[in-house]
């Protein structure tokens, strides 16, 4: 069964980049443009992993994580946050909000896949 | 990723940056009215942040470095550390301009012009108060921080695998954050060979089992060439959510790990180690089986806004418009064929054809409307021009825009940028008075430039108005006389004098303009507007200001044309330029030397231009007998008479570009395709060799002093 | 490092070229640039055009100039007629038609096959060629399209 990833970012360029990179790696990708859109898709399509940006209009990354964790359902979904900094304060904040891990921008395919592997029990996609 | 895929991504990035920059400038404008608007502040911050993020992904280091500083400054502002006042807003706007330049350089693969960035950043940091920016040099010194992750690459020169002993016990927080021991072990397994033992001694009986609390401690033995840093990295996300002990052991102490096929992988059903998924507490995928199947998965990879717009590939649109153009031609051919048939009018065919004609007209209008875009982005660029021109001349200027949402065909829009830029620079440099004079005239110290756009009677009207001192007519007249453009003593109306500004070779500034040494004249503006099929005129109010009015056709693709024959060729003359046609015998034509003719008309003498000779199709004709004269009155050049062989027909023709595959030809505006599929060139009376509009004309013996 | 493609083992791909004849001489250029080959159609004259620009033709709604390569290369003039072909090529966004006697072949060559221009090629032609390929005793001159086409921004003489 193909692994499904939900990627949330308000930048069209980022969404395209994530979609292309993850799609090429064999994942099924859903895209959302802000936290609220993300929660809607989260409910509808039940992703295996979520990757989300932090700064977004309407509902930001932390808001999304809070919402996702509140839903919980049958399992706690791994959520990775995208950040442009790698400082400890941000990591701590991400953890405190409930994120499973983080990816520092700019990322490449290897970095992306490595992070996904470390937080999800998933085998290689497809 | 394929090349075309990567290029498409790059293109999207630059498109998005344009939108983001527009949003930033919009945000700054709104913050001027309401400096406390938190949502605006967040929005401009996010715009800078997104630009930075995208630029980092594509390796545009200069953009990243600059955007980072702007983002930090905006962060301070939105965090309430300082106010948003006019001075700071101005700095931010200038930052937006520099970002735009850096992005343009990145897009074109060139280096941005040096200079402004670093100095601007210093002023910005001083203004918002924060840590001094990292030395911003335009040379790519900035390296984004990345981790090099090559899982299989042997690190630290180790060919010999190291042996690691890892003792791992997850805390409840680890599971709550969505992490899983299985995932971590699988990641470790990617680094080498592992053997996992579970210590179940602390596991309570089932009745006392607490979900969310894991009582198992695992011992993982790992053989890997990846290096200790990599091993630790596996646990990076969870290092505060578990108890972890990683020690490197010497190979001697690990005799049993050497056996090839014996390391059981997590999840295998080796009898000594119970399956992990059975033992690990609740948050695993084990419960899924009982759930109802997930809702129908939308395969959509792109977020589709439930909105009213759709992104369209411009090539496809152009293709569609070409097809519509073909449709117009074919419909014309059909009409023409029908005309040749006896008794055709009034029949069913004729009626349907009439309806078809209307339908095709509607389709064409609809297709052209798709390509129409609001002028707003162009107006925003003008805002930047105003800032720069004001700074260069030391004048305070305010730009007011009206009708930003007026729509124009995309191709026209692009070609408006240059003429509008010239007009605005002109207004600020020459139109607006220096502060002392404005004060003396009791005008507000800040000059105003008004840029407006509107549709009227099927045309696009754009005005560039300033509230400066108006045109100094005495000076203009004096210059014109000095340059021989006007005979001394000739009576000229105010309007005539104003129009002299459009003459090439008339420069009114004795001092070199501060704006640019280029000295682009208004004559260039006029020809640029003419090239778009439009007109431009001046109106000046001494002491009050000057207004330039541009009028452009809304659709470029179709033209009302007169089909003529010359030298065996069929050509098209725009009907809008034709005043009347004459038989030479009826006309009062006089010979001038051996060189040609002049026509005596009620407007005076006008030159007669032999079209066949002007285009080099044949030598000048010896006599006008057997030819036809057309009186041509182009937009702003003196009228003349054109000699053609015959007049065929008047019809609407679809304009096809000649320049796209060839180049500009003097005297030719474009081309069209006739009913029989052959090409006919469309004459441009403004640039016809030998006619008054053409630069050569000044030397021609046919020139006449007014 | 950021947007790197996977690293492939790469070998120089073979080159496909279109071979044609002008005034008894063989030429070729990259097939990549070729869009189609048409029979002769009458051209519409352009004012004050250079001698090698025969005029423009209607290519499915686009206005495309036709260049007489024989004239351009100084190989002599020929009266273009139904015997000739027009090769439609694209160079840097511009579509042009090239007049030739006949199209002979599509050849697959390798870049190593391209040799430097030998002495016997005359000076006039030399300017437009980047090398020659020898196939079965035929010497095929490899044309550099950018050089062969008249400069776009020279104003009419």
With CA atoms as reference, the chain C residue closest to B613 would be C47
Reported confidence tier of residue C55, pLDDT bands at 50, 70, 90: very high
**Is C123 within the bounds of a domain?**
yes
Residue count (chain C): 157
Residue count (chain B): 706
**Is C155 within the bounds of a domain?**
no
- φ, ψ for residue A9, nearest 5 deg: -160, 140
**Is C94 within the bounds of a domain?**
yes
Contact B180, B212 (CB under 8 A): no
Subunits with 3+ Cβ pairs within 8 Å of C are A, B
pLDDT at residue B701, rounded to an integer: 40
Interface test with C, best of A14, A21, A105, A108 (most C CBs within 10 A): A108
With CA atoms as reference, the chain B residue closest to C67 would be B662
Higher pLDDT pick, C78 / B187: B187
All residues of chain B having their beta carbon less than 8 Å from the beta carbon of residue A20 are 1, 5, 9
Count of domains for chain C: 1
Delimit the domains of chain B by residue range: 3-128, 162-283, 314-370, 373-553, 558-699
All residues of chain C having their beta carbon less than 8 Å from the beta carbon of residue B59 are 1-3
Phi/psi region, residue A46 (left: phi>0; alpha: psi -120 to 50; beta: rest), is left
* pTM over 0.80, yes/no: no
Subunits with 3+ Cβ pairs within 8 Å of A are B, C
B662 in contact with chain C, both atoms CB, cutoff 8 A = yes
- The first and second tokens of residue A102, run together, are 């983080």
**Chain A positions with Cβ closer than 8 Å to C:** 106, 108
B656 in contact with chain C, both atoms CB, cutoff 8 A = yes
Interface test with B, best of A1, A11, A45 (most B CBs within 10 A): A11
Q: Given 2.30.30.40, 3.40.109.10, 2.40.110.10, 3.40.50.1820, which CATH number is that of B558-699?
A: 2.30.30.40
What is the C-alpha to C-alpha distance for residues B187 and B226, in angstroms, rounded to an integer? 12
Q: What is the 3-state secondary structure (H, E, C) of B348-368?
A: HHHHHHHHHHHHHHHHHHHHH
**Is C2 within the bounds of a domain?**
no
Of A4, A11, A107, the CB nearest to B50: A11
Q: What's the gap in Å between the CA of C88 and the closest CA on chain B?
A: 12
Higher pLDDT pick, A104 / B516: A104
With CA atoms as reference, the chain B residue closest to C155 would be B665
All residues of chain A having their beta carbon less than 8 Å from the beta carbon of residue B50 are 10-11, 13-14, 55
With CA atoms as reference, the chain B residue closest to A106 would be B57
B162-283 adopts what CATH topology? Alpha-Beta Plaits (3.30.70)
Contact B545, B431 (CB under 8 A): yes
Contact B464, B539 (CB under 8 A): no
What is the C-alpha to C-alpha distance for residues B99 and B92, in angstroms, rounded to an integer? 10
What is the C-alpha to C-alpha distance for residues B167 and B155, in angstroms, rounded to an integer? 23
| Domain at B3-128, CATH homologous superfamily | HPT domain (1.20.120.160)
Residue count (chain A): 126
A10 in contact with chain B, both atoms CB, cutoff 8 A = yes
Residues 6 or more apart whose CB falls under 8 angstroms from that of B531 comprise: B415
**Is C4 within the bounds of a domain?**
no
For residue C108, what is the domain's CATH number? 2.40.50.180
Of B9, B144, B149, the CB nearest to A20: B9
DSSP-assigned states of every residue in B437-482: HHHHTT--SSEEEEEEEEEETTEEEEEEEE-S----HHHHHHHHHH
B659 in contact with chain C, both atoms CB, cutoff 8 A = no
What is the C-alpha to C-alpha distance for residues B96 and B116, in angstroms, rounded to an integer? 12
CB contact under 8 A, A78 and B284: no
Q: Given 3.40.440.10, 3.40.50.1260, 3.40.50.2300, 3.40.50.300, which CATH number is that of A4-119?
A: 3.40.50.2300
CB contact under 8 A, B661 and C62: yes
Q: How many CB atoms lie within 10 A of CB C122?
A: 11
Interface test with B, best of A9, A106, A116 (most B CBs within 10 A): A106
The pairing of beta strand C102-109 with beta strand C15-22: antiparallel
Does domain B373-553 fall into CATH 3.30.565.10? yes
What is the C-alpha to C-alpha distance for residues B697 and B595, in angstroms, rounded to an integer? 13
Higher pLDDT pick, C90 / B291: C90
What is the C-alpha to C-alpha distance for residues B651 and B559, in angstroms, rounded to an integer? 8
CB contact under 8 A, B661 and C1: no
pLDDT tens-digit series, residues B261-301: 333 444 343 344 444 444 443 333 333 333 333 333 333 33
Interface test with A, best of B303, B306, B311 (most A CBs within 10 A): B303
The pairing of beta strand B569-574 with beta strand B679-683: parallel
Query: Which residue is listed with tokens 């001075």?
Result: B87
C7 in contact with chain A, both atoms CB, cutoff 8 A = no
Q: Where are the beta strands (DSSP E) in chain C?
A: 15-22, 25-30, 34-39, 53-59, 62-68, 85-91, 94-100, 102-109, 129-135, 138-143
Task: Calculate the CA A28 to chain-centre distance.
Answer: 13
Q: Rounded to a whole number, what is the largest CA-CA distance in chain C?
A: 58
With CA atoms as reference, the chain C residue closest to A106 would be C2
CB contact under 8 A, A100 and B151: no
All residues of chain C having their beta carbon less than 8 Å from the beta carbon of residue A108 are 1-4
pLDDT at residue B573, rounded to an integer: 93
Subunits with 3+ Cβ pairs within 8 Å of B are A, C
pLDDT tens-digit series, residues C1-34: 333 333 333 356 788 889 999 888 899 988 888 8
CB contact under 8 A, C61 and B657: no
With CA atoms as reference, the chain C residue closest to A112 would be C2
Residues 6 or more apart whose CB falls under 8 angstroms from that of B239 comprise: none
Contact B702, B592 (CB under 8 A): yes
Query: How many inter-chain contacts (B to C, CB under 8 Å) are there?
Result: 85
The parts of chain B modelled with pLDDT lower than 70 are 1-4, 112-116, 130-159, 250-309, 315, 340, 344-346, 457-458, 505-520, 554-558, 586, 594-595, 603, 635-636, 693-706
CB contact under 8 A, C44 and B667: no
Contact B566, B617 (CB under 8 A): yes
Query: Which residue is listed with tokens 């004098």?
Result: B497
Which one, of A60, A11, A114, lies nearest residue B56 by Cα? A11
Q: What's the gap in Å between the CA of B130 and the closest CA on chain C?
A: 30
What is the C-alpha to C-alpha distance for residues C108 and C118, in angstroms, rounded to an integer? 22
The helix or strand, by DSSP H or E, that contains position B104, with its residue range, turns out to be helix B86-108
Q: What is the 3-state secondary structure (H, E, C) of chain A?
A: CCCEEEEECCCHHHHHHHHHHHHHCCCEEEEECCHHHHHHHHHHHCCCEEEEECCCCCCCHHHHHHHHHHHCCCCCCCEEEEECCCCHHHHHHHHHHCCCEEEECCCCHHHHHHHHHHHCCCCCCC
C4 in contact with chain A, both atoms CB, cutoff 8 A = yes
B267 in contact with chain A, both atoms CB, cutoff 8 A = no
All residues of chain A having their beta carbon less than 8 Å from the beta carbon of residue C3 are 108
What is the three-class DSSP state of B159? Answer: coil
Give the residue numbers spanning the domain of C33.
15-148
Residue A64 has pLDDT above 70, yes or no: yes
A70 in contact with chain B, both atoms CB, cutoff 8 A = no
All residues of chain B having their beta carbon less than 8 Å from the beta carbon of residue C44 are 569, 671, 678-681
What is the C-alpha to C-alpha distance for residues B220 and B164, in angstroms, rounded to an integer? 8
Cα of first residue to Cα of last residue in chain A, in angstroms, is 7
Q: Rounded to a whole number, what is the largest CA-CA distance in chain B?
A: 122
According to DSSP, the residues that pair with B591 across neighbouring strands are: B597
Q: What's the gap in Å between the CA of B617 and the closest CA on chain C?
A: 7
The helix or strand, by DSSP H or E, that contains position B58, with its residue range, turns out to be helix B38-58
A78 in contact with chain B, both atoms CB, cutoff 8 A = yes
Which one, of A112, A115, A124, lies nearest residue B233 by Cα? A115
Higher pLDDT pick, B482 / C80: B482
Q: What is the CA radius of gyration of chain C?
A: 17
CB contact under 8 A, B681 and C61: no
All residues of chain A having their beta carbon less than 8 Å from the beta carbon of residue C4 are 108
In this structure, what is the dihedral angle of CA atoms B497, B499, B502, B506, given to the nearest 10 degrees?
0
Of C3, C44, C96, the CB nearest to B6: C3
All residues of chain C having their beta carbon less than 8 Å from the beta carbon of residue B614 are 47
């Amino acid at each position: 069964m193909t692994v499904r990833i939900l990627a949330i970012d308000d930048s069209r360029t980022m969404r395209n980049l994530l979609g292309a990179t993850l799609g090429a790696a064999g994942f099924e990708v859903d895209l959302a443009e802000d936290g609220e859109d993300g929660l809607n898709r989260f409910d509808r399509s039940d992703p295996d992993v979520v990757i989300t940006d932090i700064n977004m209009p309407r509902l930001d990354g932390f808001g999304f994580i809070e919402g996702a964790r509140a839903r919980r359902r049958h399992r706690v979904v791994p959520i990775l946050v995208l950040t442009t900094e790698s400082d400890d304060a941000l990591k701590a904040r991400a953890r405190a909000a409930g994120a499973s891990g983080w990816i520092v921008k700019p990322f490449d395919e290897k970095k992306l896949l490595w992070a996904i592997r470390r937080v999800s029990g998933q085998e290689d996609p497809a | 990723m394929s090349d075309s895929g990567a290029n498409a991504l790059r293109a999207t990035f630059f498109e998005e940056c344009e939108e983001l920059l527009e949003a930033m400038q919009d945000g700054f404008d709104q913050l001027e009215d309401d400096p406390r608007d938190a949502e605006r502040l967040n929005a401009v911050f996010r715009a800078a942040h997104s630009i930075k993020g995208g630029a980092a992904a594509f390796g545009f280091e200069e953009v990243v470095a600059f955007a980072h500083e702007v983002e930090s400054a905006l962060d301070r502002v939105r965090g309430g550390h300082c106010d948003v006042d006019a001075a700071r807003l101005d700095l931010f706007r200038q930052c937006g301009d520099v970002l735009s330049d850096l992005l343009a350089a990145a897009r074109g693969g060139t280096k941005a012009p040096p200079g402004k960035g670093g100095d601007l950043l210093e002023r910005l940091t001083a203004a918002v108060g924060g840590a001094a920016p990292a030395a911003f040099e335009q040379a790519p010194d900035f390296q984004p921080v990345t981790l090099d992750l090559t899982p299989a690459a042997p690190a630290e020169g180790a060919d010999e695998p190291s042996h690691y002993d890892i003792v791992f016990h997850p805390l409840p927080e680890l599971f709550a954050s969505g992490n899983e021991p299985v995932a971590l072990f699988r990641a470790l397994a990617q680094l080498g060979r592992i053997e996992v033992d579970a210590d179940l001694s602390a596991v309570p009986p089932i009745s006392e089992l607490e979900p969310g609390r894991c009582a198992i401690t695992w011992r993982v033995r790992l053989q890997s060439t990846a290096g200790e840093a990599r091993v630790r990295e596996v646990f990076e996300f969870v290092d505060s959510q578990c108890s972890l002990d990683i020690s490197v052991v010497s190979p001697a102490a690990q005799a049993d790990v050497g056996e090839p096929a014996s390391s059981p992988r997590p999840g295998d059903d080796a009898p000594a180690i119970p399956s992990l998924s059975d033992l690990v507490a609740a948050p695993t995928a084990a419960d899924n089986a009982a759930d109802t199947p997930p809702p129908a998965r939308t395969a959509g990879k792109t977020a589709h806004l439930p909105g009213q717009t759709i992104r369209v590939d411009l090539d496809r649109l152009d293709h569609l418009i070409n097809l519509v153009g073909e449709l117009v031609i074919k419909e014309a051919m059909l009409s023409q064929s029908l005309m040749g048939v006896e008794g055709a009018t009034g029949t069913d065919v004729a009626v349907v054809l009439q309806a078809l004609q209307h339908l095709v007209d509607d389709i064409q209008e609809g297709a052209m409307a798709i390509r129409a875009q609001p002028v707003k982005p162009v107006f925003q660029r003008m805002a930047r021009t105003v800032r720069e021109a004001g700074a260069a001349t030391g004048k305070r200027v305010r730009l007011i825009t009206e009708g930003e949402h007026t729509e124009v065909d995309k191709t026209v829009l692009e070609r408006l940028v240059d003429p509008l830029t010239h007009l605005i620079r002109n207004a600020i440099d020459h139109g607006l008075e220096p502060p002392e004079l404005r004060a003396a005239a009791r005008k507000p110290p800040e000059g105003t430039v008004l840029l407006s756009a509107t549709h009227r009677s099927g045309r696009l009207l754009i005005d560039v108005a300033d509230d400066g001192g108006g045109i100094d007519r005495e000076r203009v007249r004096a210059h014109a006389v000095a340059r021989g453009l006007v005979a001394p003593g000739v009576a000229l109306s105010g309007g005539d004098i104003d129009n002299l500004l459009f003459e090439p070779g008339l420069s009114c500034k004795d001092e070199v303009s501060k704006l640019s040494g280029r000295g682009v004249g208004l004559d260039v503006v006029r020809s640029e507007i003419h090239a778009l099929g439009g007109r431009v005129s001046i109106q000046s109010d001494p002491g009050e200001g000057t207004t330039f009015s541009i009028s452009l056709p809304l659709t470029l693709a179709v033209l009302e044309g007169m089909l003529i024959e010359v030298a065996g060729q069929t050509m098209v003359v725009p009907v809008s330029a034709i005043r009347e046609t004459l038989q030479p015998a009826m006309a009062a034509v006089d010979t001038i030397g051996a060189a040609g003719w002049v026509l005596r008309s009620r407007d005076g003498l006008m030159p007669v231009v032999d079209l066949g000779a002007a285009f080099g199709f044949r030598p000048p004709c010896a006599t006008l007998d057997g030819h036809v004269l057309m009186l041509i009155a182009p937009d702003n050049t003196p009228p003349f008479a054109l000699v053609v062989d015959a007049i065929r027909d008047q019809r609407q023709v679809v304009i096809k570009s000649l320049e796209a595959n060839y180049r500009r030809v003097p005297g030719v505006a474009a081309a069209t395709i006739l009913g029989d599929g052959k090409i006919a060139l469309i004459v441009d009376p403004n640039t016809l060799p030998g006619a008054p509009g053409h630069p050569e004309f000044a030397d021609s013996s046919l020139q006449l002093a007014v | 490092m950021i947007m790197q493609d996977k690293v492939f083992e790469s070998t120089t791909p073979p080159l496909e070229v279109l071979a044609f004849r002008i005034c008894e001489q063989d030429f070729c250029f990259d097939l990549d640039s070729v869009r189609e080959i048409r029979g002769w159609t009458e051209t519409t004259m352009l004012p004050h055009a250079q001698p090698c620009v025969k005029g423009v033709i209607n290519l499915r709604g686009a206005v495309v100039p036709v260049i007489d390569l024989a004239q351009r290369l100084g190989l002599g003039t020929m009266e273009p007629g139904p015997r000739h072909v027009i090769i439609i090529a694209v160079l840097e966004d511009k579509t042009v038609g090239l007049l030739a006697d006949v199209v002979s072949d599509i050849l697959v060559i390798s870049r190593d096959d391209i040799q430097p221009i030998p002495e016997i090629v005359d000076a006039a032609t030399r300017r437009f060629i980047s090398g020659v390929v020898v196939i079965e005793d035929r010497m095929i001159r490899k044309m550099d399209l950018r050089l062969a086409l008249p400069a776009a921004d020279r104003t009419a003489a």
